[in-house]
Chains A and B, each alone.
Chain A
Amino acid sequence: MILFCGIASEPPVAFAIEAAARRGLDHLVFNQRHAEFYDIVLDHKSGHVTGYLWIQEKEWPLDNFSGIYNRLMEITSLPENRQRGRVLPDVARVAKSAFLHEVLSDWMELAECRVVNRAISTSSNVSKPYQAQVISQFFLTPPTLITNEPDEAHDFIRTHKRVIYKSISSVRSIVRELSAADEPNLRKIRALPTQFQAFISGTNVRVHVVGQKVFATEITSPAVDYRYATRDGFDVEMQAVELPPDIQEKCVQLSEQLQLPFCGIDLKRTEQEAYYCFEVNPSPAYSYYQQYTGQPISDALVDYLAGTMELEHASSGG
């Protein structure tokens, strides 16, 4: 049985629930919006943890789950836990919701079934250069400088000509190309080290890895960061593609190294057919790509979580 955790109407969760229902796979939804009606109990004895979820007026043994899809949102972002006009949220209800989520999250770290993804693994994305050091075992990564010294930044720009800047962490993660007009502002980096990267020209390829399956989507857009293309007035075109076998293999190996059995890998293919990797998203909003290309990512996800996915080697879903 699969456990889906998150907001049931959020597209990545909704797509997965729909796929499980369509494929006749047993599943249970922990819908955060209904958390006040749920309960959990965990028991620890001599190194063993057992427990139950109470959902839909029924007890569900935690040991019965074959896989968990974890898309839990911060509980403070849930409408029922926020102030509405002059009405404050019920303190006891928020406290119960917080503890329920905390205990559920604790269990997901320890659960012996498949979990996409565990918090301890998703943290690699908190530091892009940290993650890049892992990525560089498998893919080319762009030359990168993080500095608070304007002269160092100027030298880097002179060397690489076209340079982008972006956050070091996962916060405010928008990629921008540095223009000549930006250079006088480089003195501002003295307050906080800033990440600069050599611009790599080529075609963006978003890869979703699910266990051993690889789904690649080629993105065509004139925007530096296609994720924000529409906002910046650019078009985006997407199509499913099949990657060379060695690149598929590397994608799977990278997901295994990061202990992220479900992830979104951002690649760029240069004119010379070299593949650069920029980052690995540990909680990919795959539904955006699936809607556009028709790739059966949610089917692969629920098969993986149900334990029905064959351990075949990197086969493209494109």
Chain B
Amino acid sequence: MRFLILAHAGDATAALVTARLLQRHHPEDTRLVLLEEIVSAPRWAHTLNGAGADTILTLRDGTEIRSDQIGIVFNRLQYVDMPHFALSESADREYAVMEMFALLVSWLKALPCKIVNRLSSQNLAGPIHSSLAWQRFAGKAELPTARIRLTSSLRRYSASDLIPYPVGPSTIGNVPAWLSEPLGQQRAWAFVAGEQVLGDVSPQLKSGCLRLAALSGFEILLINFASASTNWDWKFNGADPCPAVTHGPMIDAIVTLLEAQS
């Protein structure tokens, strides 16, 4: 198959991308596989022999997925759930989840084809970046960023020009907090899919969004902006590498990326 889409049940983005690919290609070229089908597959055979790795995965409906027959993977999986261990003791359930995660990560790494977004051993949906790391990436990508402070003690490290957002209960004012410069109410977004950038922001910001995607290692990325409090400039306000998008042009941009890279 040319396009393998991996997703959780109810993922509208995955369903829309699959539907668009089915419209444009032979039905046998596209297969949407849900996590539930993967974790309950009656046959897994993942072999490593030094020279390489090979996997045969047979699903309950008889579909056989062979590593060397996939053109590209659009991976929307973000976590592992093992429903058939739901009644097991929590330690056994957690063990089963970790084991299946470890297998999925190895399977995906061994695939000779491209995976969008790229895989990480940290997380199925790619590397995990903290909010602070995203802010730093954005700054290095020359996107305008807000001034941010994180502290374990608002009493010791308050800042009069920043708005505090306490994290957790207070003990004699010594509360941990996230502080940010004030932002306005307006919001905007940009959506990166490969070299395409959609969204109602300036070309300069779009260039910065492409740089942010490259720096953070994601080909698909939704980037949020908030207006500054004092003017109409946009400030980076977070990014999502696995966004729930349903807007037609965004789906088309993902499909174009998958077609170009498969």
Q: Which of A119, A146, A167 contacts B44 (CB 8 A)?
A: A146
B182 CB, nearest partner CB in chain A, Å: 15
A311 within 8 A of B: no
Question: Interface 1/0s, chain B 93-120, versus A by CB < 8 A?
Answer: 0111011111101100110000000001
Q: Does B152 sit within 8 A of A, measured CB to CB?
A: yes
Q: Please report the C-alpha to C-alpha distance between residue A44 and residue B143 in the assembled complex, in whole angstroms.
A: 13
Contact check, A152 vs B147: say whether CB atoms are below 8 A apart: no
Residues of chain B lying within 8 A (CB to CB) of residue A45: 139, 145, 147-148
The verdict on B168 contacting chain A, using a C-beta distance below 8 Å, is: yes
Verify B110–A133 contact, CB threshold 8 A. yes
A–B pairs, 21, beta carbons within 8 Å: A38-B152, A39-B152, A47-B138, A92-B168, A92-B170, A92-B175, A95-B168, A96-B152, A96-B153, A96-B175, A99-B167, A99-B176, A103-B151, A126-B101, A126-B121, A127-B121, A146-B45, A147-B45, A148-B44, A167-B102, A193-B99
Interface size class on chain A is 35 or more
Chain B neighbourhood of A68, CB < 8 A: none
Whether A96 touches B47, Cβ cut-off 8 Å, given contacts A171-B99, A192-B96, is no
The CA of A110 and the CA of B140, in the complex, are separated in Å by 13
CB-CB < 8 A to A192: which residues of B?
A: 85, 96, 99-100
Chain B contact residues, majority secondary structure: mixed
B132 A106 Cβ-Cβ under 8 A? yes
Taking the closest CB of chain B, its distance from the CB of A46, in whole angstroms, is: 5
Q: Contacts A43-B147, A172-B95, A191-B84: A106 and B130 contacting too (C-beta < 8 A)? A: yes
List the 3 shortest-distance A-B pairs measured between CB atoms, nearest first: A47-B139, A95-B168, A127-B102
The residue of chain A having its C-beta at the shortest distance from the C-beta of B98 within the complex is A169
Contact among A54, A99, A126, A133 with B156 in the assembled complex (CB-CB below 8 Å)? A54
Count of B interface residues, CB-CB < 8 Å: 60
Q: Which of A2-10, A81-89, A136-144 contacts B (4 or more CB under 8 A)?
A: A136-144
Interface residue? A180 (CB, 8 A): no
Q: Does B48 contact A (CB under 8 A)?
A: yes
Contact residues of A: prevailing secondary structure: mixed
B248 interface hit (Cβ, 8 Å): no
The answer to whether A93 has its CB under 8 Å from any CB of chain B is yes
For B79, list chain A residues within 8 Å (CB).
none
Q: Which residue of B lies closest to A99 (CB)?
A: B176
B203 within 8 Å of A by Cβ? no
Q: Is the CB of A40 within 8 A of B100?
A: no
Across the interface, which residues of A come within 8 angstroms of B262, CB to CB? none
Judge if B160 is at the interface, Cβ distance under 8 Å.
Answer: no
